[in-house]
Amino acid sequence: MMTAVCCVDLCKTYRQGDQDIKALDHLSIEVARGGFVCLSAPSGGGKTTLLNAIGGLDIPDSGEVYVNEQRIDNLSKGDLADLRLRQIGFVFQAYNLIPVLTAAENVEFVMQVQGVAAGERNEKARAILKEVGLEGLESRRPAQMSGGQQQRVAVARAVASRPALILADEPTANLDSKTSEGLMELFLELNERHGSTFIIASHDQRVMSYAKRLIRMLDGQIVEDIDQRAA
């Protein structure tokens, strides 16, 4: 099976005051293409650090990171930006959208930077917004939308350019339970329909219940790796 993400012996230490915090402690992980993985850990357990390392947002102190079989931990900032632009979609916990752009423009943003022609990206943006249930809200700015709607726009943006890998960091943290469930249903649907690999960092039980594979982390190490489809 083709590998979407492979991390080998990752270490990352942060300094907090006088203390060194091991966010990743010799962690290795492999995620197959089309996977739907939830990283679960208590706060400070290293899930966001791992997500950032996979997304090329942060460089580990040691170890190797591969995305779609390309080693990325030794890439330059410019190459990492290019990788994120073309191969990875991000959904963050909050502040996901650019406030001065409308919902449609936010969805188009990544494609616009990629250089996709206006007609094509507009069509794609409208289609994906419809898919995430935001038809008719294309012209609204983030401030005119609810938190759930904003997260849906962020999801639409993350999947609009069909990246192979979508990373979501606590995507339901600021959402009520109904909206959270709707978002997870959407993730699952997009995963199944488009075959994109999803890695979601969360300590929300509802999110974990949707994951096909659940990886529990503690102190920067994987303590449990469960294939939930089998369960």
Binding region for another protein (CB under 8 A): 52, 55, 57-58, 77-78, 81-86, 88, 90, 92, 95-101, 105, 109-110, 112-115, 157
* Nearest distance in Å: CB 142, another protein: 11
Please provide the DSSP assignment of the chain as one string.
--EEEEEEEEEEEEEETTEEEEEEEEEEEEEETT-EEEEE--TTSSHHHHHHHHTTSS--SEEEEEETTEE-TT--HHHHHHHHHHHEEEE-SS--S-TTS-HHHHHHHHHHHHT--HHHHHHHHHHHHHHTT-TT-TT--GGGS-HHHHHHHHHHHHHHT--SEEEEESTTTTS-HHHHHHHHHHHHHHHHHH--EEEEE---HHHHHH-SEEEEEETTEEEEEEETTT-
Least distance from C-beta 78 to another protein, angstroms?
6
Smallest gap from Cβ 143 to another protein, in A, equals 11
Which lies closer to another protein via its Cβ, residue 30 or residue 82? 82
Beta carbon nearer to another protein, 154 or 222: 154
Q: Which is nearer to another protein, 86 or 162 (CB)?
A: 86
Residue closer to another protein (CB basis): 79 or 224: 79
CB of 52 to another protein, least distance (A): 5
